[in-house]
Amino acid sequence: MIGISCIIEENCLFKNINESDAKELFSAEAKDVHFDKFDFENNTFIDFVDYLDFQEYQKYIFFVGGSLERIYKLVQFLESELEETDFCIVDDNLEVKHGDFELIDMLHPLKGIFQLEKEKAKLSHMQYLRNGLMSLFSGVYPPIINKRALKHLYVENCNVIKNIEPNVYYNMAVNSSIFIDQSSEEIELNSNDMKEVPNIILLNNSVPSFQKEDLTSLEADELDELISKFKNSGVIENKESKKAIFDYATLTKTSTNNRLFVYSDGIFNDYLKENVISKNIKLHYFDIVSKYQNNEEQDKVEAMVKNIIPLMFNLAASFKGGATTFTTPYTKNKLDLVVDSIVEFKLIGIQNNRGCFVYNIQTNKVFETDETFLEILEADQKNSQSYLKDRFKDQYDAIMNEYKGLVEHA
């Protein structure tokens, strides 16, 4: 059987082409051809090997649009592990770049969709890398990411990377990054040092929109005070307009196993080297995993508050200078905060010296509003209709209808 994976590669990131579009490839006669869609975000290189071995493909085709850089290293790794499968790379001009593939005409119907996908990928992939580095240094990862998939490996310098066991790289997600904390001006990467590394390689000047100076360090008691103030007043002060907090997840005991830090003097769970895993950096991956410390289970409401603080801190950075007051179910503004239940909400109220705003979490958009809307938003999120009826009396129905219309289109 032949497997075909249709992907875009930009900035060394792999993205699957939409499955419904890709299936246009296959005619009814192509019974021995299977459209394949592997999850590069949450599965490792070793997972990919196991998956392909189980599928028993005789031939596997990567039909690739974009820059075609890392795909060669991925295929080189797969070929070293799967002798029974022939791998082939075909670009979006239908040119065979690696291996042999005689049925090139069957790929022709898909050729046209690559151009649009490539243009979108150029922007989204660079933003992906930037967001990923913020996750690396803060420890805050999206909830959709497998908590046990190693996504980022921090390496102090290029000398350290020579001592890392290769199976660490192979047990990272296929879309994972190794961040070497030196600039391209400081080092020249030796191809021999990196020949066994199929991951994305980033230096500290590889992503122009990211710099470590965008993050700040806080002591544990300072962070506790920030969280307490947020809950009791809705206020977050971010005077330096920093985007995130170093090792936030470690400080709040909400960390996952998505990141690892390798310095010359050891392997650590965090950037600031407070949680050492081993002083020996030549450990195999599963020896490292066996030394991970699991977080204790937390109260669900308290965990929810800790999960939303990074977003609030980042939003506060967007409004430079002064304090920002947020309206959420878990902040005390005009009404007490919710302490005993999980509330689903998509809107966050924002008030500062520039005015009143609403942020939509789902669309990532901000709208200008007024204090009355924020007051209604708070009561609505806290299910306090009695407060609103007392507040607006005869105008209650009209005001609530207007509010619901605004929320629907926010």
Burial level of 364, CB count in 10 A (0-12/13-18/19+)? exposed
Q: Are the C-beta atoms of 207 and 135 separated by less than 8 Å?
A: no
Phi, psi of 357 (to 5 degrees): -145, 165
Q: Is 73 left (phi over 0), alpha (psi -120 to 50) or beta?
A: alpha
DSSP 25: G
pLDDT of residue 190: 67
pLDDT of residue 83: 94
Per-residue burial over 371-391, b = 16 or more CB atoms within 10 Å of its CB, e = otherwise: eebbbbbbbbbbebeebbeeb
**Which pair of tokens denotes residue 323?**
């304090």
Helix (H) or strand (E) holding 391: helix 385-392
Complete DSSP assignment for 316-350: HHHS-SSEEEEE-TTS-SSSPPP-SS-----EEEE
| CA–CA gap between residue 83 and residue 85 (Å, rounded) | 6
In the block, residue with structure tokens 């875009």? 8
pLDDT of 30 reads 59
Distances (CA, A) of 63 to 114, 130, 189: 10, 27, 29
3-state secondary structure of 128: helix
CB-based contact 193:159 (threshold 8 Å)? no
In angstroms, rounded to a whole number, what is the distance separating the alpha carbons of residues 110 and 27? 12
The whole-number pLDDT of residue 28 equals 44
Question: Which pLDDT score is estimated for 110?
Answer: 72
Note the pLDDT of residue 26: 55
pLDDT in tens, the chain (410 residues): 899 999 999 999 999 987 665 565 555 445 688 889 999 999 999 999 999 999 999 999 999 998 899 999 999 999 999 999 999 999 988 999 999 988 787 777 777 777 667 766 666 888 999 999 999 999 999 999 999 999 999 999 998 988 999 999 999 999 999 999 999 888 876 666 677 789 999 999 999 999 999 999 999 999 999 999 999 999 999 989 999 999 999 999 999 999 999 999 999 999 999 999 999 999 999 999 998 877 778 889 999 999 999 999 999 998 876 789 999 999 999 999 999 999 999 999 999 989 999 999 999 999 999 999 999 999 999 999 999 999 999 999 999 999 999 898 87
